[in-house]
Structure 1
Amino acid sequence: MDIKDIEKTYEQMSDSELIRITTTSAQGLRPEVFGIIENEIKKRNLDLNILNGALAQNMEYSIEEIEHYSQFLRNLPCPICNNETEKLNGTSSHKVKSFIFVTVSETEPTIACPNCLDKTNNSAIISTALFGWWGIPWGIFKTPIYIYRNFRDKKENRIDSSNKTLLSFTLSNIGKIEAYKDDKGKLQEIIELKKS
């Protein structure tokens, strides 16, 4: 795409669309596009940290750096129960629902306090145990696997450091976290989108 066409495309975006794309979909952009984004942000009088979110998506990170970014999330109140005393972490809830020849399975991350993470995994275990078996053939095969995955992930809900689910979530959302690291309200919105 020609650089003038790219510039025109960014000019036509609404503020919210520009912010969303810049903080979530900027990975792999050509270097000259960052100048266009910066000019558009300045022209609209938007927060320049949004550009930092785009740049953050185009860097490589060590585990220590991802852990550092995850601390911005760990120190927030729980998005489910509003608990502020325990550090947040992550879990994946694995669910299977079946009906005769149809089996639907899903894995969904949740960022919350350890008690809410346990409840999320327990709910997924119960739901899968009750509704997973009834599909032929996949329900019968997937149900025990997904129950096992919930028990496995539940073991990491109470570890002292950021677990693998939180680190993965942090890396996936690093542009937003970098852009909003000084805005607890915006960071809270990021993790609230991942409530079960």
Structure 2
Amino acid sequence: MFSIEDIRANYKRFPDTKIENIARNESKGLRKEVLTVLKDEITRRQLNLSLISWVDAKTKSFEGLERKNLIQKIQYQHCPKCFEKTKLLGFETHTVKSFLIGTSSSRDEQILCASCGKTAKLNAIAITFFTGWWSGKGFLLTPFTIVKDALNFLFIDKISDRILNAFVDDRTGSFRRYGTDDSVLSRLIKWKNNSDDNSTY
């Protein structure tokens, strides 16, 4: 592990764009003493001081009752798909699509009501069933993916808890800076649902 002196020396060598990127996108996983180095470097370079506010917001995680209340508030937003105000859950879907010369597989997470989430899972299974077999790799992946998504119906609550907790962790900075009003929660849920696409080829 690098000493703080080594880290401070490294940060001094980084260009401004690297420091800004660390502040915006990587600060959450840094140790407290490294965060101090980062904030010192932002100040020394006279970069936008809002970066320090962002680092502070992003690294002040939600714990205990505060986390529980936030997750409950997320769960009782309008469903972003059907717009019904009912309990929302985190759903995970997998799809495999094959072509003669290649295969694409994707894993998506969405926050939806139970009805829309189950429909999304069934649609993903159907897409995989009809389009997944048409390459060597797809022929191997397709049955595994179908069985995995089907079995996941037995663990909806457990998977939902994981996805919702990860959502809170990933968006901590946004919640701290912009609050947890319904409009903010709704916008961040829609953004998550539209942006999550972990495809591999």
1:69: how far off? 3.9
User: 5+ residue gaps in structure 2?
Assistant: 1-7, 195-201
Q: 1:141 aligned to 2:140?
A: yes
1:74: how far off? 1.4
How many equivalent pairs are there?
Answer: 181
1:186: how far off? 2.8
CA contact (8 A) 1:52 1:179 kept: no
Please state which structure has a larger fraction of its residues in helix.
2
User: 5+ residue gaps in structure 1?
Assistant: none
Alignment of structure 1 residues 85-96 onto 2, 5 Å: 86-96=86-96
Q: 2:16 is matched with which residue: 9, 25, 45?
A: 9
Find the aligned partners of 1:144 and 1:4 in 2 and give their Cα distance.
48
1:128: how far off? 0.3
Find the aligned partners of 1:91 and 1:160 in 2 and give their Cα distance.
10
Find the aligned partners of 1:140 and 1:161 in 2 and give their Cα distance.
27
Find the aligned partners of 2:16 and 2:115 in 1 and give their Cα distance.
45
Q: 1:31 aligned to 2:35?
A: yes
Q: Counterpart of 2:167? A: 169
Change (3 A) 1:156 1:133: same
Moved more, 108-117 or 142-151: 142-151
Paired residue type of 1:143: T
Paired residue type of 1:164: R
Find the aligned partners of 2:151 and 2:55 in 1 and give their Cα distance.
38
Percent identity, please: 22
TM-score scaled by length of structure 2: 0.68
**Residues 77-97 of structure 1, C-alpha deviations (whole Å, 9 max, x = no match):** 21112211x121101110000
Q: 1:75 aligned to 2:76?
A: yes
CA contact (8 A) 1:91 1:154 kept: no
Paired residue type of 2:30: G
Moved more, 24-33 or 144-153: 24-33
**Residues 12-51 of structure 1, C-alpha deviations (whole Å, 9 max, x = no match):** 96xxx89xx54x432216232346779x89966x9x6x45
Find the aligned partners of 1:148 and 1:190 in 2 and give their Cα distance.
31
